[in-house]
Structure 1
Amino acid sequence: MKSYGLLSATAIASAMLAIGAPAWAQTSTPAESASLSTSPTETDKSDDSNDILVTGSHIRSIYKGADPVITIRREDAVANGFSTTTDLLQSNAITNGTSQINNAYGGYVTNGGPGANTISLRGLGPSRTLLLLNGRRLAPSGSRGAVGSVDLNTLPSAMVDRIEVLNAGSSSIYGSDAVAGVINVITRKFKGLELDGEVNVPGVGAGVQKRLAAVFGAGNDDFSINGSIEYYKRNALAYADRDFSQCQIGYRNDGKGGGPGTGDFIDPKTGKSKCYGIANGTGDSGVTINTIGLPGVLGGTVALAPGVPAGYNGTCNRFRPNPLVTTGAYPGYECVGGGSISLNVRDTFAPSLLNQPLISGTENYNGFLSGTYNLHALGDAELYGELLVSRRDSSQLGQRQFTIDYNQGSLLLPTALRNGNFGSCVQASFPTCITGTPVAARVFANYGNYNNYQTSDYVKFGGGIRGNLPYKFHYDLYASQSWSDARYTTDLILTNRLAQSLDVVASGSGFACRNPVGGCVAAPALTSDVIGGVFPQAWLNYVVAPVTGTTKFRETTFAANFDGPLFDLPGGTAQIALGAEHRSQNIDDTPSTESQNGNLYGFTSSTITRGSDSVTEGYGELELPLLHNQLIHDLTVTASGRYTSYRSYGGNFTYKFGGLISPVEWFSVRGSYGTSFRAPQLFEQYLGATSGFQAAQNDICGNLTANSLPNRIKNCAADGVPLGFTPTNGIQVNQRGGAASGLASENSRNINVGGVFNPKFAGGSFSLSVDYFDIKVSNGVSQLSYSTILSQCYDSVEFRANSVCNLVVRGSTAPYPLTVTTGYVNIATSVVRGIDYNARFTHDLAGGKVLLNAKVTQFLSMYDQNLPTDPIVDQVGFVRQPRFTGVFDATYALKGFSVHYSGEWTQHTSSDTYVTGNDPTYNFNTPDYWLHSLSVAYKAPKYEMTVGVRNLTDKNPPSISAGYYNRVGNAPLYSGYDFVGRTFFVSVTTKF
């Protein structure tokens, strides 16, 4: 369980480094002078004195592993301009081009809350990737109710020695979550004092990153202490800072051979393709602003705005102020919508949209401390301990529309508009209106920016005792406690205050709240300023308040491991490991009182997420070296099994078999077959109920005709809904956790088969590996969308006998209000298959040494099925799911100087056939994407300096059409593309 230093020097270099650095500059111990291979675990046999633990095993041996493990060192991160461990972990070198949640997702709802960064191997999600620090689990942290994965911001950077990535399921070794693989972050052993600083400056001048750190260590034969303290700050990079993100358009072809964008709507005010609101990440309709909804009148009786067809005689019901209009039904206003008029003639873009962060800012503080003390007793026992402390202060600007209902008769309206009837009050959609009172005018204004900010604290303390037992056995007893505490705040409009401020009486020359309790400030009278988003500050100060929630997550672990030799075999000594572990977790997310009471205007309500779970496990692992230099060079097999008992869902057994055969020293075949599982995370079980609303037109029983699906017609009629019904109420959507419905664990099976070719020759080395992987997750935890629930219910032959219909409640009389409850259930199936290719070449050259690396991943299949009846849609090659990704690098080192080049490749993608059926109007394909980086480093005994540039050619991300994928400007929201642009970096280290 404890990782003692896998390998270094030549053995580490043999890991098919995804990003290279001068590995030959280090010193090798005899046990680590291995032949080059694709895994750092593949070294020559050695005696017990040099036995170590490897990632993916509890046995102390230097066995050539059955599964591929790659290793990336701290020097590699520096050479490529990765300022933090987070940046390195989310790079293509580790993720194989699968999308990750990073600081570009600040405006989206993500697990762990805004500002949290996570890691997902094989594209199976962060909950199916296990992250370790020095061989031990890290507990989840973050904010809001859906905390279930490690926030990478908690990891130290300067203290990291290397990162080992096991790309194979390993639940029989590590327990839950090790479905797609295991990442082990290993810290440095250091004596002395080291000061470390790095700055990354994008070419646009914004979004600067700074990191300062001190690393220290001391010790002798009886004790050691190592630690680091560091500070990291990343300034936000706004949409306005990058050209490609300043104008989101439809990005459509005209279907006549024109390029992308030539078929976009032309803004009549500018004569150019219209820019839409970036807040609408998938579409191109933007968010209507600077507009007012009034009772509909014929176009011939009002002034028509530019872009409205001349002579339009349909019904106009959307207007914007124009003081030049002096006649017609609404003097001072011109028509911008209604009926068949395109929405594009309205204002949908506000300059404040560009203040939103393209990359959100964060300020992190990290501390790490580890120590050992030799007791000279209890089997030459050693006491050991670790402390990890971190704080993340992050923030994100949001953007919103402000919809204000002025009720019929309101004194805040001009007399000419006061008695109109724009429509009935629909409290579900506009909760500030007074039920039963007609709305005379509805303002669609631009609120502007609002702030989200979080503080997330994380502490983990762990330690134990390890020593020797008779017969060369070893023991390791360990305990740890983790604490995660977060506060999350958003500046939001309170519904009750807004409603109170809109209910006014005359007061002198102005207005006052009818109910003055709480220092109520009357809402502003309707003016062109209000429609344009200019509001009195005193009123905003009253209706807007910071709303704060808190999140707490706790994890306690006790573990014991025993390992040692069993008996001799022709290939060596059989080894065994036995152990047990107990973990307990609890979560408590308490949203603000205003959120719990549904008092946040335009935002969903939420309730407390609170629950706990515990697990007790026992495991065993066996290594059998059957042959060594007898007929063949090597033959070793391994087996492992783990029984797990969760309080929440019961027991589960996982197992794994693997082996490696080397007919000759320079060629090996390896493989493994195993099962893994993932226990439901606490938030998936106990997520507090939340409620929100979807548009009325999404009611599946709305606007049915005789040509609609027969089952749908029949089932809607059974609920009392007639043909031709036009829904007017929003759909209430409630969400909940899955504990009440018996949520169980996910199960998976994992197959890995590969070969390693590593001949030796004078003056250099070459190695090549090819590994096939095949992962299938069954009984996966998924949350059905409200639309899936409605279609599965109303299109079903069984209808109300269908269990999914228990999640649908409908009123029996018009307007037939509809409520859908969604929750986490065990239904999904996920499949990922592919091949990893790794190659490495080193050779002496002109007094120095050259190192070439190539790491390519090919995905063969990748799909999800939420329901067994869902069609299988293979996503490989789609936008954000490239078939091939690769990292290629070259390093030349001579006398302390080194030059490093890296190229990161993402293959072209296309979703045209799937999304549009190859409609030439749309563009859902991207070209091959390359990022080039270059750095120069100098290393002296007491001083190191690296200078370089990432994204050397200042490559922008590609563009796609609106309407299907979330976009950043016109680019797909995808972590494999660089949104920052060319970035210069300098790293300096001084040792004392």
Structure 2
Amino acid sequence: MAILVPGVASAQTTVQTPDQDAVQVDEIVVVGSRIRRDNYNAPSPTQVVTREEATLQGFASTTEALQSTAVTGGTSQINNAYGGYVTDGGPGANTIGLRGMGPSRTLVLLNGRRVSPAGSRGSVGSADLNVLPTAMIDRVEVLRDGASSVYGSDAVAGVVNIQTRQGFEGLTLEGQVNAPTEANGNGGSTRLSVVAGAKGDRWRAAGSVERYERDELTLRDREFTRCQTDGFFNDRDYIDPRTGQSKCYPITTTGSNGVTINTIGTGSLAGVGAPGVPDIALANGVTYNRWRPNSAITSGLVGFEGVGGSYVNPNDPTSNIALNNNIRDTFEDRMLNESLISPVDITTIYGEGGYDLHALGNAEVYGEVLFNQRKSSQTGYRQLSLDYAEGSPLIPDNLAFSTFAGDQGLNKGQNVGVRAFIGFGNDTSEQEVDFTKLTGGLRGDFIVPGWRYDAYVSHSRSKSTYTSEQFLTDRLIETLDVVETAPGRFECAQLSSNPGCVAAPALSTRTIAGELPQDWVDYVFRPVTGTTEFEETIVSVGIDGPLFQLPAGEVSAFFGAEWRDSSIDDTPGLDSQLGNTYNYSTSAITRGSDSVWEAFGEVEVPVLRDLPFAQELTLNGSFRYTDYDSYGDDTTYKVGAVYRPIDWLSLRATYGTSFRAPALFEQFVGATSGFLSSGADACNEYGAEGVNPNRVANCGAEGLPKDYYATTGVQVISEGGADLGLAAETSTNLTIGAVFQPTLPSGWGNLDFAVDYYEIEVENGVSQYGASAILDRCYDSNPGDFAADTGFCALVSRDPSDNSLTVIDSYVNLATDIVKGLDYTLRYRNDVGPGSVLFNLAVTQYTEVSSKLFDEDPLEDYVGMIDNPEFTGTADISYAWADWRVRYGVEWVDGMSSYEYYGENPATSQYDLATDDYYLHNASVQYSRDGWTATAGVRNLFDENPPTISAGVYNRVGNAPLYSGYDYLGRTAFINLTKSF
């Protein structure tokens, strides 16, 4: 990593290796400013990652490099381990968010121009890193500072600019293979690319074609994901009586009480208990309502053993105690086929060119094209809860007694006789995203001497199809309504109106075990496909040059204007729109558009130069006026200064305002349903001691008993906030830094050190209340307001038939988010022996990462908690001589603990809520000669597994936290071969 700080590093178009001086290039614009300058003594610190450095670190794609700890500062990113989660951009999308403020507050540029959002489903709102080229990249510039006055909306936490190679000539072939050594050979990646370029007297053209493939890594492939346990201390894990070991729950994200499979639910009945039923239950009259097939059982419910139910409390004969749910089956081998890292195939074509007109101010007509296609998929596991109606001929005689529940929707108004909890098996979700970005422009000398102009038009389009396999409710209903045509043979009762209908399988041990007729599966389990389109058009014009001369130098300025128009159209599959996907979320159409025009300017003023205690003093200021169709106008500004009192010390500071216009999906996303567990019901056991008296009164007013225990999940409907007057987020940004460059004695080398303090505060953050917050505030409200169904209670409804809850959760302006911290960077270079040694160190410290939803809420500081390390760092040392270069690097994530936040004593808690320091070691060697370059190395040299935590608190991957700063692949060898002609 090269850390770009005032006076430390110069602009470069050739790579600065340890034994090679930087090559100065005049008048280049670097991220953070629109003004051309011949040095980078800028007030905002910028980090530069060169293509060569990324290769030495073993990164096979731009996405991997951008999501590394060195760039992100250790904040969690959405990567390919999130395939089973609902994320903005849909499964397979990869995003970057600086300072832990999320991808919507980080702006991504390609050659200084916006990269439009891409992805699938209704919540497309950020750039997908998968669309970026890798082979043509020269460097990546990372600005961790607010810059809305320079770039407009979204540049709240920082800006990432991907700069392609300029003026490339020749032909380069490149191939890279990354192969994990500890994952059954799975999870590897391959990238092949061709880069070509040529020049003439008046023209230039260059481009690349590349193919990137990553294989799937499954839960089976890594030790820490093969058996997801509770991970409790003090021997509090549930011990599986079948194995004598902690029980596995790999279907769940936190680890405990996995989804029931290979089980039926019936009306309560005495019977024979399965291994694991406690003696106290057996001694106090157990009645079972959950059963597992067991052919050895000849009494009670013949052929079944009891795995769930209740027994009399020996101290209170009027109440019952529920059996531990973990007696039930929660695991089968096919669960290990789930994706840990999802596979992807990416094809990228990039081209750029220009032609000198010899007119219009020596103008050049230029253009860029980017075509990208991503094909990604995820393997999941599905449970099927199949309801057999009371009296159905599909129910065997020994279960005919049962009434399990009232009408649950699959039995045409009849009671449920028996519910079968079936381990159905694996399902697949697929996405294909086609992204196109076309840019054409004209740039040249302006009318005023020394000034230049640049005007361009850009159009981007992301079009995707996304498919998931779903059980269709209407077909399930018809297949369960059967008549018996012969002993053991059934057909759909309404076959004449549904000629393709296939009768559901009779309830049997094979059915319960998931051995289902293929023709029936093919009829009820169908692909549901939706489409998403996101389009954005940008027209931009700018001029820059000198205003006048001062004794300290030239005053430079930039003035520009821009118009952007964007639209989204997400049309889910019809079955998803109609709620015909059984036990799965539903989605409505997301459709909307927005446009903005902006005028902006930037001025840089050299105030003092080459004076005692004022070697340099330069001021910079920028301003932007913005007018959105959606919410009106706004202004942002930024001021900065660089002060160098003496040769070896530079001081810098910036302060400014930024904003983020609500993303289109935040304004217009169609109603999308999801679910919380039944435990989220605010009235669960509301009669317990210490419960808010308002909650007690309000739950009682709904007719719920004080020992009410919810058995159905909470449905959550998410909607856009355009109709609620959603406005832009506003924020302030402060950065103060110092750069030390002492002159060392001859032969001691060069040392550079920088430290920067930063503060970002976001007000009116676009967020959702969250279903839990809505429920708490509703049920804890004044009983009069609760009865009137006002305020938060207007967002909550309870179904009187089964007491299930539905919550409406729209996007609104709510949140306050604050991030504070320090960045430390150090670089040392010296000639040693036949070559040069280079040492880099970068450490990020977070002193505050706090947020709150409501003004009256206290700020919650998450620094040091799981997923929010206080410190992260990277260090590397390299040595270059002749044709060789060797590198050794370490990535560090500080240990984390959440005990204090959750009020747990580490000495007595059953939970493991702490992680130790985490280190990843990387080593590589590179040889270059005669146009050949070979790079080989190993990432995660010591095969460091992620740390583990307990179940029930944080989302986990196996037994590890779901956190992008940890490596799930294990030790990975890589080799990169490049040949240039």
User: Could you tell me which amino acid in structure 1 is paired with residue 956 of structure 2?
Assistant: R
Matched, 1:689 2:671: yes
Query: 1:430-457: per-residue Cα shift (whole Å, max 9, x none)?
Result: x32333x221111111011000010000
Name the CA shift for 1:651/1:693 in 2 (closer, same or farther; >3 Å).
Answer: same
Q: Give the corresponding residue for 1:257.
A: none
Which of 942, 950, 956 is the equivalent residue of 2:939? 950
1:489 shift after superposition = 0.3
Q: Give the corresponding residue for 1:361.
A: 343
**Residues 411 and 481 in structure 2, CA contact (< 8 A), matched pair in contact too:** no
Comparing 974-983 with 627-636, greater Cα deviation is found at 627-636
Name the CA shift for 1:791/1:983 in 2 (closer, same or farther; >3 Å).
Answer: same
Which of 249, 252, 273 is the equivalent residue of 1:280? 252
Matched, 1:778 2:763: yes
Which of 977, 982, 988 is the equivalent residue of 2:966? 977
1:697 shift after superposition = 5.7
1:368-767 matches, cutoff 5 A: 368-425=350-407, 427=408, 431-435=409-413, 437-469=414-446, 470-509=448-487, 510-516=489-495, 517-631=498-612, 632-694=614-676, 698-701=680-683, 703-705=685-687, 708-716=691-699, 731-761=714-744, 762-763=746-747, 764-767=749-752
TM-score (norm 2): 0.94
Long gaps (5+) in structure 1: 1-6, 33-49, 255-261
Matched, 1:128 2:105: yes
**Residues 22 and 851 in structure 1, CA contact (< 8 A), matched pair in contact too:** no
1:723 shift after superposition = 5.9
Secondary structure (helix, strand or coil) at the match of 2:861 reads coil
1:727 shift after superposition = 6.0
**Residues 79 and 93 in structure 2, CA contact (< 8 A), matched pair in contact too:** yes
Long gaps (5+) in structure 2: 311-321
**Residues 22 and 891 in structure 1, CA contact (< 8 A), matched pair in contact too:** no
Name the CA shift for 1:304/1:12 in 2 (closer, same or farther; >3 Å).
Answer: farther
Matched, 1:179 2:156: yes
1:54 shift after superposition = 1.8
Secondary structure (helix, strand or coil) at the match of 1:688 reads coil
User: Could you tell me which amino acid in structure 1 is paired with residue 965 of structure 2?
Assistant: G
Matched, 1:917 2:904: yes
1:315 shift after superposition = 1.8
Counterpart Cα distance in 2 of 1:549 and 1:718: 42
Counterpart Cα distance in 2 of 1:803 and 1:753: 47
1:88-127 matches, cutoff 5 A: 88-127=65-104
1:875 shift after superposition = 0.6
Counterpart Cα distance in 1 of 2:901 and 2:683: 27
User: Could you tell me which amino acid in structure 1 is paired with residue 304 of structure 2?
Assistant: Y
Counterpart Cα distance in 1 of 2:352 and 2:764: 40
**Residues 563 and 598 in structure 2, CA contact (< 8 A), matched pair in contact too:** yes
**Residues 808 and 818 in structure 1, CA contact (< 8 A), matched pair in contact too:** no
Which of 30, 51, 68 is the equivalent residue of 2:27? 51
**Residues 685 and 824 in structure 1, CA contact (< 8 A), matched pair in contact too:** yes
TM-score (norm 1): 0.93
Q: Give the corresponding residue for 2:9.
A: 14
**Residues 915 and 949 in structure 2, CA contact (< 8 A), matched pair in contact too:** yes
Secondary structure (helix, strand or coil) at the match of 1:338 reads strand
Q: Give the corresponding residue for 2:315.
A: none
Comparing 805-814 with 56-65, greater Cα deviation is found at 805-814
Q: Give the corresponding residue for 2:921.
A: 932
Query: 1:99-132: per-residue Cα shift (whole Å, max 9, x none)?
Result: 0010111111100000000001000000000000
1:916 shift after superposition = 4.9
Counterpart Cα distance in 1 of 2:422 and 2:509: 10
Name the CA shift for 1:497/1:656 in 2 (closer, same or farther; >3 Å).
Answer: same
**Residues 649 and 744 in structure 1, CA contact (< 8 A), matched pair in contact too:** yes
Query: 1:821-853: per-residue Cα shift (whole Å, max 9, x none)?
Result: 110000001010000000000000011000000
Query: 1:541-599: per-residue Cα shift (whole Å, max 9, x none)?
Result: 11111110000000000001011111111210111111100000000000000000100
1:872 shift after superposition = 2.1
Counterpart Cα distance in 2 of 1:783 and 1:725: 28
Q: Give the corresponding residue for 1:309.
A: 278
Matched, 1:249 2:229: yes
Matched, 1:987 2:968: no
1:21-36 matches, cutoff 5 A: 23-24=17-18, 28-29=22-23, 31=24
**Residues 4 and 48 in structure 2, CA contact (< 8 A), matched pair in contact too:** no
Counterpart Cα distance in 1 of 2:677 and 2:338: 26
Counterpart Cα distance in 1 of 2:657 and 2:295: 71
**Residues 18 and 879 in structure 2, CA contact (< 8 A), matched pair in contact too:** no
Matched, 1:137 2:114: yes
Query: 1:204-252: per-residue Cα shift (whole Å, max 9, x none)?
Result: 3111100000001111342111100000000001111111110111111
1:294 shift after superposition = 1.4
Name the CA shift for 1:803/1:663 in 2 (closer, same or farther; >3 Å).
Answer: farther
Q: Give the corresponding residue for 2:780.
A: 795
Counterpart Cα distance in 2 of 1:731 and 1:567: 66
Counterpart Cα distance in 2 of 1:316 and 1:418: 16
Q: Give the corresponding residue for 2:319.
A: none
User: Could you tell me which amino acid in structure 2 is paired with residue 688 of structure 1?
Assistant: G
Counterpart Cα distance in 2 of 1:160 and 1:335: 62
Matched, 1:77 2:54: yes
**Residues 9 and 24 in structure 1, CA contact (< 8 A), matched pair in contact too:** no
Name the CA shift for 1:987/1:220 in 2 (closer, same or farther; >3 Å).
Answer: same
Q: Give the corresponding residue for 2:838.
A: 851
Q: Give the corresponding residue for 1:335.
A: 306
Secondary structure (helix, strand or coil) at the match of 1:122 reads helix
For this pair of structures, how many residues does the alignment match? 949
Name the CA shift for 1:697/1:229 in 2 (closer, same or farther; >3 Å).
Answer: closer
Secondary structure (helix, strand or coil) at the match of 1:103 reads coil
**Residues 614 and 646 in structure 1, CA contact (< 8 A), matched pair in contact too:** yes
Query: 1:936-986: per-residue Cα shift (whole Å, max 9, x none)?
Result: 100114110001000000110001000011111100011100000000000
User: Could you tell me which amino acid in structure 1 is paired with residue 33 of structure 2?
Assistant: S
**Residues 789 and 807 in structure 1, CA contact (< 8 A), matched pair in contact too:** no
Q: Give the corresponding residue for 1:270.
A: 243
Counterpart Cα distance in 2 of 1:811 and 1:362: 42
Query: 1:781-810: per-residue Cα shift (whole Å, max 9, x none)?
Result: 001222211211232347358963364254
**Residues 214 and 229 in structure 1, CA contact (< 8 A), matched pair in contact too:** yes
User: Could you tell me which amino acid in structure 2 is paired with residue 383 of structure 1?
Assistant: V
Secondary structure (helix, strand or coil) at the match of 1:868 reads coil
Secondary structure (helix, strand or coil) at the match of 1:651 reads strand
Secondary structure (helix, strand or coil) at the match of 1:471 reads coil
**Residues 596 and 605 in structure 1, CA contact (< 8 A), matched pair in contact too:** yes
**Residues 655 and 732 in structure 2, CA contact (< 8 A), matched pair in contact too:** yes
Counterpart Cα distance in 2 of 1:586 and 1:849: 52
Counterpart Cα distance in 2 of 1:812 and 1:944: 67
Query: 1:482-526: per-residue Cα shift (whole Å, max 9, x none)?
Result: 010000001111111111101100112300000121411100111
1:700 shift after superposition = 2.6
**Residues 6 and 41 in structure 2, CA contact (< 8 A), matched pair in contact too:** no
User: Could you tell me which amino acid in structure 1 is paired with residue 296 of structure 2?
Assistant: L
1:855 shift after superposition = 0.3
**Residues 291 and 308 in structure 2, CA contact (< 8 A), matched pair in contact too:** yes
User: Could you tell me which amino acid in structure 1 is paired with residue 275 of structure 2?
Assistant: P
Q: Give the corresponding residue for 1:46.
A: none
